Amino acid sequence: MEVTAKVSFVRITPRKMGLLADEIRGKGINEAMAYLTFSPRKRTAQVLKTLLKSAVANADQKGSVDVDQLFVKTILVGQGTTLKRFMPRAKGSAHRLNKKTSHVSITLSER
């Protein structure tokens, strides 16, 4: 049985999210949680850890799933909307800043 969880519009770039997502893909729940707990990318790891906890809670609610046997089957990181902001620059000009967002979905399955 598979369970999913999603988070949208996270204010972290998809490239940074994808680096951690690649590390936990295919790992068991306990191993993935431990990796995210001690990851040097604290802010990104916190978002993925919360999403992983949500997926485990979804699996627990379904009832027929052994939570200890779950592993990360797929984790997809996509680009969300880009927030466009402007910063004043020299001689009265302005440059655009693109603040990118991410959409992340995770699927857990039993071994």
Rounded-to-integer distance, Cα 22 and Cα 74, Å:
10
Query: Tens of pLDDT along 63-97?
Result: 788 888 899 999 999 999 999 999 999 999 999 99
Nearest alpha-carbon partner for 29 in 110, 92, 88:
110
Query: Tens of pLDDT along 34-46?
Result: 999 999 999 999 9
Q: What share of the chain is helix, strand, coil (3-state, %, to 5)?
A: 40, 40, 15
Q: Where are the domains of the chain?
A: 2-110
β-strand partners of 96 = 86
Whether the pTM exceeds 0.85: the reply is yes
Size (the chain), residues: 111
Top CATH class of 2-110 equals alpha beta
Q: What pLDDT is attached to residue 43?
A: 94
Rounded-to-integer distance, Cα 111 and Cα 108, Å:
10
